[in-house]
């Protein structure tokens, strides 16, 4: 018979899952899940990757504190944009432009990383095709030498 876990045990398991997910991420991985609207990590993506609901990120005190700490570390590293304090008055146009520039810069970093990965894949594929072509050119010249020319 399987025992049901208590809420505390489930919470501890969720915290362990979050820590394991966090350790498995790279800086580029974090950049890929930035919610550019809010300048924070995408909660839905984190929850899905950890195997729990989004509510855990809000309601589990350990997970919530660890996420806030992680985001502050990522802001210090420059991976996440700095949070802009919301004022009751309207923002100046300069601060809006700075926020937009930071968002664009984050998007460009992610896009650049994807393009670099694609270039690496295509270069490897190109090299493999060149080796095949060299092999077939050698076979073709051998066939021509023995007097059998393919059509």
Over the stretch 55-104, which tens digit does the pLDDT of each residue have?
Answer: 999 999 999 999 999 998 988 888 888 765 333 333 555 566 667 777 88
Task: Map 2-71 to HEC letters.
Answer: CCCCCHHHHHHHHHHHHHHHHHHCCHHHHHHCEECCCCEECHHHHHHHHCCCHHHHHHCHHHHHHHHHHH
pLDDT higher than threshold 60 for residue 128: yes
Give the HSE-up count for residue 31: Cα atoms under 13 Å, Cβ half-sphere.
19
The residues spanned by each domain of the chain are 7-83, 86-151
Cα R_g (the chain), whole angstroms: 26
What per-residue confidence (pLDDT) applies to 27?
86
> At 108, is the pLDDT very low, low, confident or very high (cuts 50, 70, 90)?
confident
**d(Cα 41, Cα 80) in Å, to the nearest integer?**
8
């Amino acid at each position: 018979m399987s025992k049901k876990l208590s809420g505390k045990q489930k919470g501890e398991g969720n915290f362990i899952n979050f820590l394991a997910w966090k350790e498995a991420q790279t800086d580029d991985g974090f950049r890929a899940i930035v919610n550019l609207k809010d300048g924070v990590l995408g909660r839905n993506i984190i929850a899905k990757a950890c195997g729990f609901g989004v509510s855990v990120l809000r309601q589990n005190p350990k997970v919530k504190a660890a996420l806030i700490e992680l985001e502050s570390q990522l802001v210090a590293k420059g991976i996440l944009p700095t949070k802009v304090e919301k004022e009751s008055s309207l923002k100046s146009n300069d601060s809006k432009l700075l926020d937009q520039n930071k968002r664009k810069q984050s998007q460009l970093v992610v896009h650049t990383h994807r393009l670099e990965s694609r270039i690496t894949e295509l270069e490897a594929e190109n090299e493999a095709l060149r080796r095949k072509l060299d092999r077939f050119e050698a076979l073709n010249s051998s066939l021509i030498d023995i007097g059998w020319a393919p059509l």
